[in-house]
Amino acid sequence: MFSPAMMNGGGDGGGPPAAEKKDFGEMINLKNKIDNSECYAKGTHDGFPMTNLFIGDTRLGCKSDADEQLILHVAFQEFVKVHSIKFTEFNQGSNPEENPSKIHIFVNRENLGFEDCEDVIPDQSLELTAVDLKENADAILTKYVKFQRIRSLTFFIEDNAGGEISSIGSLGIFGRHVAATNMKDYKKSG
Protein backbone atom coordinates (compact mmCIF):
# COMPACT_ATOMS: atom_id res chain seq x y z
CA MET A 1 0.00 0.00 0.00
CA PHE A 2 1.08 3.59 -0.39
CA SER A 3 0.30 6.92 1.13
CA PRO A 4 -0.68 10.09 -0.74
CA ALA A 5 2.88 11.30 -0.21
CA MET A 6 4.13 8.31 -2.19
CA MET A 7 1.80 9.17 -5.06
CA ASN A 8 3.88 12.28 -5.59
CA GLY A 9 7.18 10.43 -5.37
CA GLY A 10 7.73 10.99 -1.63
CA GLY A 11 7.28 8.63 1.25
CA ASP A 12 9.64 6.33 3.03
CA GLY A 13 9.46 2.56 3.04
CA GLY A 14 6.58 0.43 1.87
CA GLY A 15 6.43 2.03 -1.56
CA PRO A 16 8.02 1.14 -4.84
CA PRO A 17 11.82 1.33 -5.17
CA ALA A 18 13.27 4.72 -6.17
CA ALA A 19 13.60 3.70 -9.83
CA GLU A 20 9.92 2.79 -9.93
CA LYS A 21 8.91 6.08 -8.30
CA LYS A 22 10.90 8.02 -10.86
CA ASP A 23 9.39 6.00 -13.72
CA PHE A 24 5.82 6.59 -12.57
CA GLY A 25 6.13 10.32 -11.89
CA GLU A 26 2.88 12.10 -10.99
CA MET A 27 0.02 9.67 -10.32
CA ILE A 28 -3.49 10.44 -11.48
CA ASN A 29 -6.82 8.69 -11.20
CA LEU A 30 -7.15 7.08 -14.64
CA LYS A 31 -10.99 7.26 -14.73
CA ASN A 32 -10.82 9.94 -17.46
CA LYS A 33 -8.73 7.56 -19.60
CA ILE A 34 -11.39 4.80 -19.54
CA ASP A 35 -12.96 3.84 -22.88
CA ASN A 36 -16.55 3.20 -21.78
CA SER A 37 -17.50 1.69 -25.15
CA GLU A 38 -15.02 -1.17 -24.58
CA CYS A 39 -15.85 -1.84 -20.92
CA TYR A 40 -18.17 -4.63 -19.82
CA ALA A 41 -19.29 -6.46 -16.72
CA LYS A 42 -20.65 -9.97 -16.22
CA GLY A 43 -22.87 -11.03 -13.36
CA THR A 44 -23.94 -7.51 -12.32
CA HIS A 45 -27.29 -6.48 -10.91
CA ASP A 46 -29.20 -4.28 -13.41
CA GLY A 47 -29.77 -1.57 -10.79
CA PHE A 48 -26.09 -1.41 -9.77
CA PRO A 49 -23.98 -1.39 -12.97
CA MET A 50 -20.20 -1.15 -13.22
CA THR A 51 -20.37 2.49 -14.42
CA ASN A 52 -21.44 3.50 -10.90
CA LEU A 53 -17.95 2.63 -9.62
CA PHE A 54 -16.42 5.71 -11.23
CA ILE A 55 -18.87 8.46 -10.24
CA GLY A 56 -17.72 8.98 -6.65
CA ASP A 57 -20.84 7.96 -4.69
CA THR A 58 -20.34 4.65 -2.85
CA ARG A 59 -24.11 4.43 -2.16
CA LEU A 60 -24.67 3.66 -5.85
CA GLY A 61 -21.80 1.25 -6.47
CA CYS A 62 -21.88 -2.09 -8.26
CA LYS A 63 -23.43 -5.36 -7.09
CA SER A 64 -23.43 -8.91 -8.37
CA ASP A 65 -26.78 -10.38 -9.32
CA ALA A 66 -27.00 -14.04 -8.31
CA ASP A 67 -23.93 -15.00 -6.28
CA GLU A 68 -20.66 -13.53 -5.02
CA GLN A 69 -18.82 -13.71 -8.36
CA LEU A 70 -18.49 -10.74 -10.67
CA ILE A 71 -16.35 -9.81 -13.68
CA LEU A 72 -15.43 -6.17 -14.40
CA HIS A 73 -13.52 -5.37 -17.59
CA VAL A 74 -12.04 -1.86 -17.73
CA ALA A 75 -10.56 -0.71 -21.06
CA PHE A 76 -8.51 2.43 -21.58
CA GLN A 77 -8.42 4.91 -24.49
CA GLU A 78 -4.63 4.60 -24.65
CA PHE A 79 -1.89 2.57 -23.04
CA VAL A 80 -1.39 3.39 -19.37
CA LYS A 81 0.90 2.37 -16.53
CA VAL A 82 -1.05 1.27 -13.49
CA HIS A 83 0.62 1.99 -10.17
CA SER A 84 -2.14 1.09 -7.71
CA ILE A 85 -5.77 0.09 -7.35
CA LYS A 86 -8.34 1.09 -4.73
CA PHE A 87 -11.58 -0.76 -4.08
CA THR A 88 -13.97 0.94 -1.64
CA GLU A 89 -16.77 -0.69 0.34
CA PHE A 90 -20.37 -0.20 -0.72
CA ASN A 91 -22.33 2.49 1.18
CA GLN A 92 -19.73 2.91 3.96
CA GLY A 93 -19.81 -0.79 4.80
CA SER A 94 -23.55 -1.08 5.46
CA ASN A 95 -23.39 -4.79 4.51
CA PRO A 96 -19.84 -5.92 5.41
CA GLU A 97 -20.55 -9.55 4.46
CA GLU A 98 -20.91 -8.37 0.83
CA ASN A 99 -17.40 -6.88 0.73
CA PRO A 100 -15.16 -8.55 -1.85
CA SER A 101 -12.38 -10.53 -0.20
CA LYS A 102 -10.59 -12.23 -3.12
CA ILE A 103 -10.03 -10.44 -6.44
CA HIS A 104 -7.93 -11.62 -9.38
CA ILE A 105 -6.60 -9.12 -11.93
CA PHE A 106 -5.89 -10.00 -15.56
CA VAL A 107 -3.88 -7.66 -17.79
CA ASN A 108 -4.75 -7.06 -21.46
CA ARG A 109 -7.14 -10.01 -21.72
CA GLU A 110 -10.33 -9.70 -23.73
CA ASN A 111 -13.66 -11.48 -23.32
CA LEU A 112 -12.86 -13.48 -20.20
CA GLY A 113 -15.79 -15.47 -18.85
CA PHE A 114 -16.20 -17.03 -15.42
CA GLU A 115 -14.67 -20.36 -16.51
CA ASP A 116 -11.73 -18.54 -18.12
CA CYS A 117 -11.06 -16.62 -14.91
CA GLU A 118 -10.87 -19.87 -12.98
CA ASP A 119 -8.54 -21.50 -15.55
CA VAL A 120 -6.18 -18.61 -16.45
CA ILE A 121 -3.40 -17.56 -14.07
CA PRO A 122 -4.03 -13.97 -12.92
CA ASP A 123 -1.36 -11.29 -13.19
CA GLN A 124 -2.07 -10.31 -9.59
CA SER A 125 -4.43 -11.51 -6.85
CA LEU A 126 -5.69 -9.41 -3.97
CA GLU A 127 -6.86 -10.61 -0.56
CA LEU A 128 -8.87 -7.71 0.82
CA THR A 129 -9.94 -7.04 4.40
CA ALA A 130 -12.65 -4.69 5.65
CA VAL A 131 -9.87 -2.21 6.54
CA ASP A 132 -8.51 -2.27 2.95
CA LEU A 133 -11.96 -1.24 1.67
CA LYS A 134 -12.41 1.85 3.87
CA GLU A 135 -12.49 5.14 1.96
CA ASN A 136 -9.43 6.46 3.78
CA ALA A 137 -7.38 3.26 3.32
CA ASP A 138 -4.36 3.28 1.05
CA ALA A 139 -4.56 1.95 -2.49
CA ILE A 140 -2.85 -1.38 -3.17
CA LEU A 141 0.32 -1.33 -5.25
CA THR A 142 0.34 -3.38 -8.43
CA LYS A 143 3.20 -5.65 -9.45
CA TYR A 144 5.45 -3.14 -11.18
CA VAL A 145 6.66 -5.26 -14.11
CA LYS A 146 3.22 -6.57 -15.10
CA PHE A 147 1.41 -3.21 -15.15
CA GLN A 148 3.60 -1.07 -17.43
CA ARG A 149 1.68 -1.15 -20.71
CA ILE A 150 -1.99 -1.65 -19.96
CA ARG A 151 -4.81 -1.39 -22.47
CA SER A 152 -7.33 -3.21 -20.26
CA LEU A 153 -7.77 -4.76 -16.83
CA THR A 154 -10.22 -7.52 -16.00
CA PHE A 155 -11.18 -7.91 -12.34
CA PHE A 156 -12.65 -11.23 -11.23
CA ILE A 157 -14.32 -10.94 -7.84
CA GLU A 158 -14.10 -14.57 -6.79
CA ASP A 159 -15.25 -14.41 -3.19
CA ASN A 160 -16.59 -12.09 -0.52
CA ALA A 161 -16.85 -11.92 3.27
CA GLY A 162 -19.75 -14.40 3.42
CA GLY A 163 -22.68 -12.64 1.74
CA GLU A 164 -24.94 -14.04 -0.96
CA ILE A 165 -23.85 -11.27 -3.37
CA SER A 166 -20.82 -8.97 -3.65
CA SER A 167 -21.02 -5.18 -3.46
CA ILE A 168 -18.37 -2.58 -4.33
CA GLY A 169 -18.73 1.14 -3.67
CA SER A 170 -16.06 2.53 -5.98
CA LEU A 171 -12.96 1.58 -7.95
CA GLY A 172 -9.93 3.81 -8.33
CA ILE A 173 -7.16 2.96 -10.78
CA PHE A 174 -4.09 5.15 -10.36
CA GLY A 175 -1.12 5.61 -12.68
CA ARG A 176 -0.32 7.60 -15.78
CA HIS A 177 -0.47 7.36 -19.55
CA VAL A 178 2.41 5.78 -21.44
CA ALA A 179 4.28 8.46 -23.35
CA ALA A 180 4.18 7.62 -27.03
CA THR A 181 6.99 8.55 -29.36
CA ASN A 182 5.83 10.51 -32.37
CA MET A 183 8.34 9.79 -35.11
CA LYS A 184 7.29 12.96 -36.98
CA ASP A 185 8.91 14.96 -34.17
CA TYR A 186 12.36 13.67 -35.14
CA LYS A 187 14.23 15.33 -37.99
CA LYS A 188 16.22 13.19 -40.36
CA SER A 189 19.94 13.66 -39.96
CA GLY A 190 22.61 13.21 -42.54
For the chain of 190 residues, list the mean pLDDT of each consecutive stretch of 10: 38 40 73 96 97 95 97 97 98 96 97 95 97 97 96 98 98 90 53
Does any domain span residue 184? no
Query: What pLDDT score was predicted for residue 182?
Result: 54
Q: Tell me the C-alpha distance between 96 and 41, whole Å.
A: 22
Does any domain span residue 85? yes
Domain holding 56, by residue range, is: 4-179
What is the rounded radius of gyration, in angstroms, for the C-alpha atoms of the chain? 17
Query: What pLDDT score was predicted for residue 25?
Result: 65
Does any domain span residue 86? yes
Does any domain span residue 70? yes
Instruction: Give the end-to-end CA distance of the chain in Å, rounded to a whole number.
Output: 50
For the chain, what is the domain count? 1
DSSP element (H, E) containing 62: strand 62-63
For residue 182, give every residue at least 6 positions away whose Cβ sits within 8 Å of its Cβ, in sequence order, or none. Answer: none
Does any domain span residue 189? no
The CATH number of the domain holding residue 45 is 2.60.120.470
3-state secondary structure of 104: strand
Does any domain span residue 107? yes
